[in-house]
Copies of this chain bind each other. A is one copy, B any other.
């Protein structure tokens, strides 16, 4: 048997054996996509298992994350995980979880599973590579994706691919496991796009591989690498190839069980199901290992790149920010400081930089200026979030993205993945309350504070003024292990003496201590009124602009004030002043009054509660 075939069979049998042993997982893609996986890894990928973090390695993203067993079988051939790891597939505490998890398994470049996002993450990786290559000539690698039919139906994938086409990220290569089957039905029952036309329409090179064999796929990958455009390779495969129910959705997500013998027989597999033939290891020694270790040896890292990659020091932000201005404006000034004082702060907005004041440095990132760190994402919020994840995953970037707070909704799935992966992405959300005013309920966040505070692992900060804005950005930029979302006002605020750029970083903190039994608790634009009323009525005041930390006050005599949902605020106070309905369209101040959040109404309401 030729070594390629043996390697493919090894991937197949090891993979479906892992699924069988776990009695859970997806055998269909293992059998259908093993050939493209092997072809890519053995013939093209630059990835040295001895240096899995080598900066100039090709990146490989399994966007069809449910195919994790296939990826693990591959990583086992590379020696990155052991036979036992493979046998522990999907077991609690193993390094081979149900979907690939970044940081859990060596060789896994991104957490994937939620469909479409892997493609967008890969676009982010390719963006990072393209930008770095313009600064450091020695950077020059490909980003490969393996995706399924479901990925291509997701809007986030289409947004990201449209961006990649526009940006002409020519070193991005997507391999499409085109098996005509999805979970509920044949693909043709729900999707009849002409992929060739669509790819050409969006600026991709389209390559069709009708014969699912090593030579054909190899040829396609060679063409793709030579193309001056990003490439999309549609490879016709058979889901669950070799199983009795091959070509049907029944082999997608259920273990083969006893039918594994059908495959074993068809492939003439005479070993233990988890066996790794030495010929396969030899093949990889002669190909991937050799090619990649040479690439590592030959790589000459410039001092400049070394400096970029090792820059890990905490930054202190020194900006003279004017008082009493909208926090989005203060934010814009801090962003300029970051643009001027860092090299890894990169990002932009979903076509709202004029409003969010969030622009990256060095001009617009485009084909003429790859050094640009201001990325025009277009009106593609979800892809923007996922692309930022890819930027962060690449190496040492601190990506930021920006839109109106209400549209955090569109990006939430990417924010969740950033939180799971502990990526230091900064989300800059302006227009953070009903104070948006005239644009009305569709543009006025209500429940979004609760949505992000309840998301594990993310810092959520809603600064009251420029002091807290600076603290928020120091926390965000210096973060190593978590994303940070910053909610900012559209309207001018009242700057406070008592706010602190350092205290806010630790969580909530007391601003006014009148030793009263009553405490006013507020964040963002409501804090100024809380402080002023606390002073007048001799109460205490606490900032929950960063809501973390212990609660060191009597919550039974605390009143929370926030221009958003009161959901979650009973933790901080028994009385909650907020908005549990949708907003209104009208002049901001009038809307604020309508919801009885202006100072006069607040004072009245607070006095009523206390008395």
Chain A residues with CB under 8 Å of chain B are 22, 24-25, 65, 90-94, 97-99, 101, 111-116, 149-151, 153-159, 162-163, 165-166, 182-185, 189-198, 200-203, 249, 349, 351-355, 364, 366, 376-383, 406-407, 409-410, 412-413, 416-417, 419-420, 437-443, 446-447, 450-451, 453-457, 565, 567-568, 570-571, 580-582, 584-587, 590-591, 594
Contacts and interface: CB of A to CB of B under 8 A. Distances in A.
Contact of A568 (B183, B185, B406, B454): B454
Given A92-B590, A159-B158, A183 B351 contact: yes
Contacts of A409: 114, 412-413, 416
B585 A97 contact: yes
Contact of A184 (B166, B376, B412): B376
B438 A98 contact: yes
A191 B203 CA distance: 10
A488 to B, nearest CB: 18
B193 A200 contact: no
23 contacts: A22-B438, A90-B440, A90-B587, A93-B586, A97-B584, A97-B585, A99-B439, A112-B442, A153-B380, A155-B380, A189-B366, A190-B376, A193-B202, A194-B201, A197-B198, A198-B202, A410-B413, A447-B451, A450-B450, A450-B451, A454-B565, A457-B582, A570-B570
Contacts of A591: 92
Contact of A201 (B198, B419, B570): B198
Contacts of A447: 416, 451, 454-456
A190 B99 contact: no
B451 A585 contact: no
A453 B165 contact: no
A92 B97 CA distance: 53
A45 to B, nearest CB: 24
A440 B91 contact: no
A90 B585 contact: yes
B154 A166 contact: no
B162 A193 contact: yes
B203 A192 contact: yes
